[in-house]
């Protein structure tokens, strides 16, 4: 009985698919197109709002070819990043490199190229705030990304800020910890992690704190939440002024604390 019902259902479904195949295909195509259009419109709305209220570290994708009206158009994709915002203008640093395809520019971001010391030109680029939206509408600015923490498209586009303290709170950093900070600020996370390891072996509370934050964020190596938790506890026990907040955050986000 069950077997007969299964075969009968299969026959009915096959018959319906054969009869309404064209309609079903059209429905699927229309659904895909509608989804793409809605997604595209949503992306444009977000990017429009970001350009209306830009922030430092926003990554702006530009097509220099759209800005050059004295020559035949040729795609010249380049990456720029906001370094200052005022009521009247944006100040950006502009990449030295020009790409023939948009995907190559995106790939440069994904490969952390923006963190290279010589990636950007030295001279800043100033754009009037009134020019931004016309550039976007003409395609001269074709995309804008706002970093999620320190990432855009999975690539690192800025340094994570290390803590700054008032003079009365400043600790005397060990040589190893200071070296780790220098490596970190240069974007060499592997070397920074090794330096903080040495500082930790010498019971440096700031070395413990800095190493813990790198372990938690998977910077310079694999993530190790448990060890990060233990190091933060040790730093907190030594009176580290930032370890308590880091512990609270770790316990809330990862539920590792007992």
Q: What is the CATH number of the domain that holds 244?
A: 1.25.40.10
Distance CA 243, CA 210 (A): 10
pLDDT attached to residue 258? 60
Q: Which domain holds residue 171?
A: 167-254
Query: Domain boundary residue among 102, 133, 156?
Result: 156
The 8-class DSSP code of residue 55 comes to: -
Q: Is the pLDDT of residue 148 over 70?
A: yes
Q: 152 and 72: one domain? A: yes
Number of domains in the chain: 3
Ramachandran angles phi, psi of 55, nearest 5°: -130, 155
Please tell me the least confidently modeled range out of 27-31, 114-118, 241-245.
27-31
Please give the pLDDT value at position 5: 60
Q: Report phi then psi at 143, rounded to 5.
A: -165, 155
Check whether 116 has a pLDDT greater than 70.
yes
Do 137 and 59 lie in one domain? The reply is yes
162: in domain: no
Least confident range of 44-53, 92-101, 244-253 = 244-253
Task: Give the tens place of pLDDT for each residue, 188-223.
Answer: 889 999 999 999 998 999 999 999 988 888 888 888
Task: Give, in order, the Cα–Cα distances in Å from 214 to each of 55, 124, 207, 218.
Answer: 26, 32, 11, 6
Distance CA 90, CA 174 (A): 39
Q: Is pLDDT above 80 for 238?
A: yes
């Amino acid at each position: 009985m069950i077997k007969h019902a299964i075969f009968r259902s299969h026959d009915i479904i096959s018959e319906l698919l054969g009869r309404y195949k064209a309609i079903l295909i059209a429905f699927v195509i229309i659904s895909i197109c509608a989804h793409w259009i809605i997604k595209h419109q949503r992306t444009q709305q977000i990017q429009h709002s970001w350009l209306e209220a830009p922030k430092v570290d926003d990554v702006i994708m530009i097509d220099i070819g759209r800005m050059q009206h004295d020559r035949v158009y040729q795609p010249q994709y380049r990456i720029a990043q906001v370094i200052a915002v005022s009521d009247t203008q944006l100040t950006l640093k502009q990449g030295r490199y020009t790409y023939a395809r948009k995907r190559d520019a995106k790939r440069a971001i994904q490969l952390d190229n923006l963190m290279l010391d010589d990636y950007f030109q030295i001279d800043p680029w100033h754009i009037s705030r009134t020019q931004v939206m016309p550039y976007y509408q003409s395609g001269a600015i074709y995309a804008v990304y706002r970093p999620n923490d320190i990432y855009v498209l999975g690539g690192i586009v800025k340094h994570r800020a290390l803590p700054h303290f008032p003079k009365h709170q400043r600790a005397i950093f060990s040589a190893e910890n200071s070296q780790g900070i220098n490596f970190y600020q240069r974007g060499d996370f592997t070397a920074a992690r090794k330096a903080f390891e040495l500082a930790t072996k010498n019971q440096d509370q700031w070395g413990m704190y800095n190493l813990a934050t790198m372990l938690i964020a998977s910077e310079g190596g694999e993530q190790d939440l448990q060890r990060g938790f233990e190091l933060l506890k040790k730093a907190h026990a030594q009176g580290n002024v930032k370890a308590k907040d880091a512990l609270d955050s770790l316990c809330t986000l990862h539920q590792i604390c007992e």
